[in-house]
């Protein structure tokens, strides 16, 4: 029994919680053609072919850029200027945006973070590596003419035409060759192994985390590089970066994207607040034939809509409008001319800013027809005789007086009859 009562109470509370909410524009539609959610409070908004990063209330974090796709949980936000494609910042897969304070520009084929770092060039054209906040980590001192992405803690860099392998502190790995050949080029690290070749065209493998001794191997069948500057024939990776769309899971936080008149905006659902209305009186409203009755109701609005103009519409069951007005919270009334005792229901809707805030909310009034007593003018339900007064008793006193008067009536001098009985009226010829 207790479990049943708890279930009922929980269900009732859940229903009330679901119902008790309203919505309001966080960002009113008007500017953006499309908005996509990419974080808890981060959105990419499109207008006239350009993208901007905004928060739910419309605050602009970055404008007129292009948001790339994700690799290793990061996407670049870039724009183009006279120096090239500038990295304005990066967006993480969990929906955070880091703005780059110093100007840096993408390198061909390296528009992605790898091993936690991004290979770029600065405003002076010098290459180096930055973290996801745009802070320089390695390079930018002019030592390197070309750089490759980091993999497994190391990156292939070039000083002039000479190949080097550096760690994330910029320290170059020393190669120990078993022959007299001179190191000429090499790959990035894959599976803990680097492939290098010397000036005589011989190939070697080396493990930078071990003793750095180069071991002679056969030339790979295909020395074409993949997107991380390793041999495709070894890694099985393509040259094209396997970017991916960020599958951000939208949380149930009351934020919703919505369109209005072809433009996109952002809605916020507010819990524990709702529009309500109630009739001023639950008692039947009295009226007499041919009279009108005034029906009054009170509209309560959530705090977020206090003081704002609302479109208030009240419709009868047959669809005819009983009330069409603009207003705020307060009392509203309309008039009706009922024909008989009855009750009538009406549907109340409240709209504002293109939002349906209250839809088909039912209000019902009862009407009672009253009748007046023809005798006393009071309503028949308060008349002592319920509108049926008794007839007055007959008064015979006047008839008796007439007989008395007739007994002393003069007589005709000719026929001797009373004048009233004389056929000649007392004048005989």
| Residue 156 tokens, joined | 């292939």
Looking at residue 209, its pLDDT comes to: 82
Please give the Cα distance from 62 to 46 (Å, whole number): 12
Looking at residue 182, its pLDDT comes to: 83
Mean pLDDT score, 173-189: 85
Which residue in this structure is represented by tokens 């996509």? Answer: 36
For the stretch 55-87, pLDDT in tens is: 999 999 999 898 999 999 999 999 999 999 999
* Element spanning 332, H or E: strand 330-336
For the stretch 22-59, pLDDT in tens is: 999 999 999 999 999 998 899 999 998 888 999 999 99
* Terminal alpha carbon distance of the chain: 118
For the stretch 327-372, pLDDT in tens is: 999 999 999 999 999 999 999 999 999 999 999 999 999 999 999 9
Is 3's pLDDT higher than 50? Answer: no
Is 10's pLDDT higher than 60? Answer: no
Is 161's pLDDT higher than 80? Answer: yes
Is 186's pLDDT higher than 60? Answer: yes
Query: What order do you get walking across the sheet with 276-279 strand by strand?
Result: 276-279, 293-300, 330-336
In the chain, % of residues over pLDDT 90: 68
Strands 203-206 and 97-99: unpaired
- DSSP helix/strand/coil, 17: helix
pTM for the whole thing? Answer: 0.71
Please give the Cα distance from 428 to 416 (Å, whole number): 11
- DSSP helix/strand/coil, 269: strand
Query: What order do you get walking across the sheet with 215-217 strand by strand?
Result: 183-186, 194-198, 203-206, 215-217
Least confident of 143-152, 275-284, 312-321, 404-413: 404-413
Burial class (CB in 10 A: 0-12, 13-18, 19+), 214: buried
Mean pLDDT score, 280-303: 94
Looking at residue 2, its pLDDT comes to: 39
Looking at residue 394, its pLDDT comes to: 67
Is 296's pLDDT higher than 50? Answer: yes
Mean pLDDT score, 118-144: 96
Question: Predicted confidence band at 395 (pLDDT cuts at 50, 70, 90)?
Answer: low
Mean pLDDT score, 126-155: 96
- DSSP helix/strand/coil, 59: coil
Please give the Cα distance from 143 to 160 (Å, whole number): 9
Is 415's pLDDT higher than 90? Answer: no
User: What is the average pLDDT value for the chain, to the nearest integer?
Assistant: 88
Please give the Cα distance from 209 to 219 (Å, whole number): 23
Looking at residue 7, its pLDDT comes to: 40
Looking at residue 1, its pLDDT comes to: 41
Is 388's pLDDT higher than 50? Answer: yes
Question: Predicted confidence band at 305 (pLDDT cuts at 50, 70, 90)?
Answer: very high
For the stretch 212-254, pLDDT in tens is: 788 999 998 899 999 999 999 999 999 999 998 887 888 888 9
Contact (Cβ atoms closer than 8 angstroms) between residue 26 and residue 267: yes
Looking at residue 406, its pLDDT comes to: 53
Mean pLDDT score, 287-314: 94
Question: Predicted confidence band at 396 (pLDDT cuts at 50, 70, 90)?
Answer: low
| Residues in a beta bridge with 21 | 271
Is 258's pLDDT higher than 90? Answer: yes
Looking at residue 426, its pLDDT comes to: 63
Please give the Cα distance from 206 to 212 (Å, whole number): 6
In the chain, % of residues over pLDDT 70: 90
Length of the chain measured in residues: 429
Mean pLDDT score, 118-122: 97
Please give the Cα distance from 121 to 141 (Å, whole number): 11
């Amino acid at each position: 029994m207790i479990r049943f009562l708890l279930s009922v109470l929980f269900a009732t509370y859940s229903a009330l919680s679901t119902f008790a909410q309203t919505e309001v524009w966080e960002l009113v539609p008007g500017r953006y053609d499309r908005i996509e959610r990419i974080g808890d409070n981060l959105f990419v908004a499109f207008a006239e072919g350009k993208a901007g990063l905004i928060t739910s209330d419309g605050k602009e974090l970055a404008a007129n850029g292009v948001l790339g796709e994700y690799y290793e949980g990061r996407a670049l936000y870039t724009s183009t200027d006279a120096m090239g494609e500038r990295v304005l910042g990066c967006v993480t897969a969990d929906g955070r945006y880091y703005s780059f304070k110093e100007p840096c520009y993408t390198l061909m084929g390296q528009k992605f973070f790898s091993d936690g770092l991004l290979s770029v060039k600065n405003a002076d054209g010098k290459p180096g590596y930055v973290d996801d906040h745009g802070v320089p980590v390695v390079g930018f001192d002019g030592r390197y003419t070309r750089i490759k992405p980091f993999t497994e803690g190391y990156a292939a860099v070039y000083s002039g035409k000479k190949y080097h392998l550096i760690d994330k502190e910029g320290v170059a790995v020393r190669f120990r060759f078993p022959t007299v050949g001179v190191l000429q080029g090499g790959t990035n690290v894959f599976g803990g192994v680097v492939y290098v070749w010397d000036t005589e065209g011989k190939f070697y493998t080396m493990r930078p985390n071990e003793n750095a001794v180069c071991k002679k191997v056969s030339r790979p069948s295909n020395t074409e590089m993949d997107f991380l500057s390793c041999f495709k024939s070894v890694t099985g990776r393509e040259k094209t970066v396997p970017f991916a769309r960020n599958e951000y899971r939208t949380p149930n936080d009351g934020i919703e994207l919505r369109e209005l008149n072809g433009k996109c905006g952002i809605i916020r659902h507010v819990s524990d607040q709702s529009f309500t209305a109630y009739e001023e009186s639950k008692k039947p409203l009295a009226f007499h034939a041919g009279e009108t009755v005034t029906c009054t109701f009170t509209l309560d609005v959530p705090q977020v809509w206090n003081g704002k103009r609302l479109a208030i519409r009240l419709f009868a069951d047959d669809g005819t409008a009983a009330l069409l007005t603009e207003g705020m919270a307060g009392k509203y009334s309309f008039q009706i001319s009922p024909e008989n005792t009855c009750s009538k229901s009406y549907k109340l809707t409240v709209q504002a800013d293109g939002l349906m805030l209250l839809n088909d909310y039912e209000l019902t009034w009862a009407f009672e027809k009253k009748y007046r007593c023809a005798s006393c003018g009071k309503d028949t339900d308060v008349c002592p005789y319920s509108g049926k007064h008794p007839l007055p008793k007959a008064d015979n006193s006047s008839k008796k007086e007439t007989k008395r008067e007739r007994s002393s009536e003069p007589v005709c001098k000719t026929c001797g009859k009373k004048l009233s009985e004389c056929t000649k009226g007392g004048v005989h010829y």
